[in-house]
Amino acid sequence: MSRGRSALILIVLAVIGVAATVLSVHAFRRHAPAGPAIDGVTSSPPLGWNSWNVFGCNIDERRIEQAAEAMVSTGMRDAGYRYVVIDDCWFDPRRDESGELRANPARFPHGMKAVADFVHARGLLFGIYASPGEATCAQNGGSYPGRTGSRGHETQDAQTFARWGVDYLKYDWCGPPADVDELVDSFTIMRDALRATGRPIVYSVNPNSGTVVPPGQYERFRGVATMTRVSQDLVPAWDAIDAYDTSLGVVDALTNAARPEFRCSAQPGFFCDYDMLVAGAPQVAGINLPPLNEAESRSQLALWAVWGSPLIAGNDLARMPDSLRALLINRELLAIDQDLRRAPAVSLPGSAGTIWTRPLADGSTAIVIVNRDDSAQPFRAAFSALGLPKTRQFDVLDVFAGTRSVQKLTYRTSLAAHDAVLLRVRAIDDQH
């Protein structure tokens, strides 16, 4: 063999080797063993507030400060809510000369670090919004000027967020339709940039904005993000899918979660996000549907708690009614949501998603019963059919009513239209 041909073969083999290495790293990045995406962040589903559902793009420094103050004065902070998250439209429409993001000077005249400092001084944590594309959702939709997405600026933006004191990043796809591999790769770039800052930043991704992830593919985001959205946008309505086919109401989210092909289960450092709470939020412009009433708000909170979803409120905290405040800070509801066992909730077969059960760390079982109908309905279910041991007596805590009772064999109730009951049930040993 000639020396030239040998050299050519060595070059070809080297190129193949490099390509194989790149492919191997690429495949490993997509399918790496699950673990926390970002070390040092919360080990429980995050609790907090986000500006979008109540204010949309109409945000400014004072409104965010009022939300932080209200989170303290309403008792939400003491109940476990920590994150104050500014959504889209906080930034100057243009980056500075060095390519860095900066706050909109008219809306946030003191800058984002000052807002973060204000939030931190109240014992809370600070969150912000960005997008992996060239533009954010509001920019793509024409409701906010500029093109300040993070594509090509991921390292720079992550360092900026860390320098400002950001504790939570909502990263919203807002791009054209994409397959799961492309989504995972795009979100992984920012994950790596956040890791490199050394700051523990909760990384919340939404792959369902501009595209739709197949319902069996959400666990692909384990190790990529702290929490991933598992549905399209939720709007403040009971049933929105017929009126607004790119968003969901509460009952639509229930239907999706009950689909047999749906797969998403929590693990330490990874949570399935069913979207922000719409209880108490005003209706979205252009949707001719009433916002949630009190019964529908109970249903959303009950479902989100039994699913173990992050609870990110979206109402005006400074002006919420006492009934909504009591719902948001219900300690028993929050304990179910935050349960350390992280067991998945299961929809009772044949219930069309109206009955959910979830085993809890202390041996009790959380049960949610939802009335999907437009009129009051009676419900009856044997405790044994709900996965509880076959015994004659059960200790039953009604989370919303705050009452405890001993019941036998079968649970019976009547629910108003669109209302729900959330129970924590424990079998009583007949020998004691």
- Across the range 255-272, mean pLDDT stands at 94
Give the structural domain span for 75: 47-338
Instruction: Give me 220's structure tokens.
Output: 């692909």
Asked, for residue 355, whether it belongs to a domain, the answer is: yes
Q: Are residues 233 and 103 in the same domain?
A: yes
Contacts of 60 (CB under 8 A, 6+ apart): 107, 108
What phi and psi, each to the nearest 5 degrees, are found at residue 53? Answer: -65, -30
What CA–CA distance (Å, rounded) separates 23 from 342?
34
* Whole-model pTM over 0.95: no
What CA–CA distance (Å, rounded) separates 303 from 228?
17
Residue 172: active-site member: yes
Instruction: Give me 67's structure tokens.
Output: 């939300």
Query: 23-31: long-range contacts (C-beta < 8 A, 24 or more apart)?
Result: 26/185, 29/184, 29/185, 29/188, 30/181, 30/184, 30/185, 30/188, 30/220, 31/220
In percent, how much of the chain has pLDDT > 90?
84
Last residue of a domain, one of 338, 371, 387: 338
233, 252, 275, 339: the active-site residue:
233
Last residue of a domain, one of 338, 369, 401: 338
Nearest Cα to 281, choosing from 247, 311, 254, 316?
Answer: 316
Q: Are residues 300 and 396 in the same domain?
A: no
pLDDT of residue 170: 98
Q: Are residues 326 and 273 in the same domain?
A: yes
Worst-scoring range by mean pLDDT, 19-28, 88-97, 263-272?
A: 19-28
More confident residue, 211 or 14: 211
Q: Are residues 137 and 59 in the same domain?
A: yes
Last residue of a domain, one of 338, 371, 405: 338
What CA–CA distance (Å, rounded) separates 218 from 170?
17
87, 88, 167, 172: the active-site residue:
172
pLDDT of residue 236: 95
Confidence band (pLDDT; 50, 70, 90) for 235? very high
Q: Are residues 208 and 236 in the same domain?
A: yes
Residue 169 has pLDDT above 70, yes or no: yes
Asked, for residue 15, whether it belongs to a domain, the answer is: no
Using an 8 Å Cβ cutoff, are 132 and 150 in contact?
yes
